Amino acid sequence: MKAISVRLLLAILFHAVVLEAAYCQAQLDIADYTKYALTQEGDAAKGKAIFDSNRVACSNCHSIDGSRDRSAPDLFAVGDKFGRREIVDSVLTPSARIAEGYETTLILLDDDSVVSGVIRSSTAESIELLVATGQVLSVQLDEIQERRGSAISIMPHGVQSILSKGEFNDLIEFLASLKQYESSAITQKGMPNPIDALPRSIDLHPIIDESMQFEHPVWLSSLPGSGDHLVVIEHQNRKIWTLRKPKASQAPTAVSKQLFLDLGVGPPNAGRLACIAFHPSYLSNGKYYLFDRVTLEGKMVAAVFEHQASDDRQRDSGRDARLIVKVPQDTGGHFGGWLEFGKDGFLYVSFGDSGPQEDPNGNAQNRSKMLGKIIRIDIDRKANGKEYAIPDDNPFVDDSNTLPEIWALGFRAPWRLCFDKVTNDLWLGDVGQDRSEEITIVRKGENHGWNVFEGFEPFSNRFRRSNEMYTMPVFAYARRYGPSVTGGYVYRADPNSSFYGKYIFGDYESKRIFALSQKDRELGEVRQIGIAPQRIVAFGQDVNGEIYLVGYEGMLYRIDFSATEFQYVHKADSSR
Ligand code: HEC
């Protein structure tokens, strides 16, 4: 790697020295403002006006309604996320703790100028940066000489020189008031709050060497035929890899992987490979199925393709894929992303409401669309001009108002599901809109409520039908535990473990890992059992029932439950 250029080094030093100087001068003020804000009550309404004012321009960068329509973190529920002290610190000394995913990057351009900002998006040609003025700047990759991380937040420092102590305190009062409304529906259903954390977390063992990290992996499962080969999917690269699990006698991490299939990166923001399912007779027929989001005839679709593996079943054969089913998407979000064969031999596939927020078109309740549904199809037969047949016992085969493919409806973003290997229950983590993340068990013909309900709470009556029954989740959690649930698996490896039969899941953003028990879909107990080092994009399960965690930044971990117990703990503070 080439040495850091003198100019960029100077920029980094300058950056640090200037702030250090400002910081020293401001030290006394900071102590004074902090003490005031921790002892006096402010006026939240006045604080809101300050937040929106041009003097401090907070609202140039931050939204506060959960819409995340600005480039800095949405402060909706910041009063849940942080105590007053932490709120004060994050406004007075923004660089002391930089919010995850909002680190600053310094970039040296070809003309020797330096820009710094938070990278918000990138394509093969350019990146977009949020800069300190609140604007978003686009930089072409071929103009960049060099880039480096910086420990300085781009959020403006020194609000204490603009606001009086009283005004600052009002601003803090306003931020502290930004809490998620705790609905009675959640408490009535006995949703525990707080969720207790285990005194001793589960262990996460990396199964690959750091040098082998994947490029945004999103799926991990076993390759049929050999107990020790895993399959990993890369989301945007659209590559599938196999790797051999390290044996107990070997180094604990794998160091090599083999390419199974390379579909190539699609157009920006279009191609997303999400899931693989092997035919129950894969070893004899070599057929496997992919859930992919692609552009077909100029239209973005979520689609299932049938592929053919090589004779040794270790890679794709290179033969043309067959399109099985495609579902046109309204936006780039909530496309679903899971498919798996049931014990009945039929293929189950999940499709999301396809966005935008709130499902304004009512897709998830629309029975003539596959959006917001789980479908079930027979891949071994073809009928009625389709590439598949409808199983005779699908729930809506005799209902002329409902597509016969539909198995269950009313889902928003059903990204990760699983069948319990023992009970055959179909578990789903459905990502919520504003308030709650839901874990549910889905049965044939059920309507799980979105967007009439979000979790346990009524959301909108626009697409409500009279006499419709809506199935409630097993569990829902509020924003303070995270904004984006990732469904996992029921642990079925060691029958003597206290985690045996517990459903393991997590939150993509907060990285909390949870376990819960249930009976007849009534919640038993739920625990926070650990925190992941990377964003939890998926869990995986191998043929032995062991559970893995897939970090979106590239690492794969095996979850080791042996050092702790799924027991009841009375511990008040599990919020961090
Ligand atoms: C130029 C854009 C910008 C402006 C203006 C701005 N911020 Fe920020 N803010 C950020 C960024 C980027 C982060 C994340 C990096 C960090 O933690 O410092 C952040 C983080 C925060 C956090 C911590 C959030 C978390 O989840 O960790 C709080 C609280 C906050 N800002 C409040 C404010 C307030 C109050 C104002 C107005 C006085 C303000 N910000 C003005 C960009 C901005």
Per-residue pLDDT tens, the chain, 576 aa: give them.
344 566 666 566 555 554 555 555 567 789 999 999 999 999 999 999 999 999 998 999 998 886 666 778 888 778 877 778 889 999 999 998 887 667 888 899 999 999 999 877 767 788 888 898 888 899 998 998 887 878 899 998 999 999 999 999 999 999 999 876 554 445 556 567 789 999 999 999 999 999 999 999 999 999 999 788 999 999 999 999 999 987 766 777 887 899 999 999 876 666 799 999 999 999 999 999 999 999 888 888 999 999 999 999 999 999 999 999 999 988 778 999 999 999 999 999 999 998 777 888 899 999 999 999 999 999 999 999 999 999 999 999 999 999 999 999 999 999 999 999 999 999 999 998 877 899 999 999 999 999 998 888 878 888 988 888 999 999 999 888 988 999 999 999 999 999 999 999 999 999 999 999 999 999 999 999 999 999 999 999 999 999 999 999 999 999 999 999 997 554 444 443
Tokens at residue 214, please? 């994947």
The CA 9 to ligand 1 mean position distance, Å, reads 26
Cβ neighbours of residue 267 under 8 Å, at least 6 residues apart? 295
The closest-lying atom of ligand 1 relative to the alpha carbon of residue 133 is 1
HSE, CB side, 13 Å, CA atoms: give it for residue 427: 30
Question: With contact defined as beta carbons under 8 Å apart, do 414 and 350 qualify?
Answer: yes
The closest-lying atom of ligand 1 relative to the alpha carbon of residue 95 is 18
Q: Long-range contact list for 520-527, CB < 8 A, 24+ apart?
A: 521/441, 521/474, 522/474, 523/189, 523/190, 523/191, 523/474, 523/475, 525/192, 525/566, 525/568, 526/192, 526/195, 526/475, 527/195, 527/196, 527/197, 527/198, 527/566, 527/569
Nearest CA to ligand 1 atom 7: 155
* Per-residue pLDDT at 245: 85
The CA 513 to ligand 1 mean position distance, Å, reads 27
Tokens at residue 199, please? 């005194």
The CA 117 to ligand 1 mean position distance, Å, reads 13
- Residues with C-beta less than 6 Å from any ligand 1 atom: 56-58, 60-62, 72-73, 75, 78, 81, 87, 90-91, 94, 98-99, 102, 118, 132, 134, 153-156, 159, 171, 175
In angstroms, the Cα distances linking 441 to 71, 209, 309, 406, 470 are: 35, 35, 33, 16, 13
Q: How far is CA 445 from the centre of its chain?
A: 27
* Per-residue pLDDT at 572: 44
The CA 6 to ligand 1 mean position distance, Å, reads 30
* Per-residue pLDDT at 25: 57
- Ligand 1 site-directed mutation target among 33, 61, 174, 480, most atoms within 8 Å of CB: 61
Closest CA to 525 of 506, 545, 502: 502
Question: With contact defined as beta carbons under 8 Å apart, do 392 and 490 qualify?
Answer: no
The closest-lying atom of ligand 1 relative to the alpha carbon of residue 57 is 5
Question: With contact defined as beta carbons under 8 Å apart, do 129 and 117 qualify?
Answer: yes
Instruction: Please compute Rg for the chain using Cα positions.
Output: 25
In angstroms, the Cα distances linking 231 to 157, 279, 399, 464 are: 47, 14, 39, 41
- Ligand 1 site-directed mutation target among 56, 90, 155, 164, most atoms within 8 Å of CB: 155
* Per-residue pLDDT at 295: 87
The CA 186 to ligand 1 mean position distance, Å, reads 30
Q: How far is CA 209 from the centre of its chain?
A: 24
* Per-residue pLDDT at 66: 67
Cβ neighbours of residue 248 under 8 Å, at least 6 residues apart? none
- For 516, list phi and psi in degrees, rounded to 5: -140, 155
The closest-lying atom of ligand 1 relative to the alpha carbon of residue 71 is 12
Nearest CA to ligand 1 atom 25: 99
The closest-lying atom of ligand 1 relative to the alpha carbon of residue 98 is 17
The closest-lying atom of ligand 1 relative to the alpha carbon of residue 171 is 35
The CA 391 to ligand 1 mean position distance, Å, reads 53
Rounded Cα distance between 450 and 413, Å, is: 10
Closest CA to 414 of 519, 479, 327: 327
The CA 113 to ligand 1 mean position distance, Å, reads 25
The CA 152 to ligand 1 mean position distance, Å, reads 12
Tokens at residue 147, please? 């880039």
The CA 265 to ligand 1 mean position distance, Å, reads 34
The CA 184 to ligand 1 mean position distance, Å, reads 31
The CA 554 to ligand 1 mean position distance, Å, reads 27
Nearest CA to ligand 1 atom 22: 90
Question: With contact defined as beta carbons under 8 Å apart, do 171 and 47 qualify?
Answer: yes
Nearest CA to ligand 1 atom 5: 58
Question: With contact defined as beta carbons under 8 Å apart, do 422 and 492 qualify?
Answer: yes
The CA 125 to ligand 1 mean position distance, Å, reads 28
Nearest CA to ligand 1 atom 27: 99
- Ligand 1 site-directed mutation target among 51, 62, 119, most atoms within 8 Å of CB: 62
The CA 182 to ligand 1 mean position distance, Å, reads 25
Cβ neighbours of residue 141 under 8 Å, at least 6 residues apart? 124, 125, 126, 127
The closest-lying atom of ligand 1 relative to the alpha carbon of residue 159 is 38
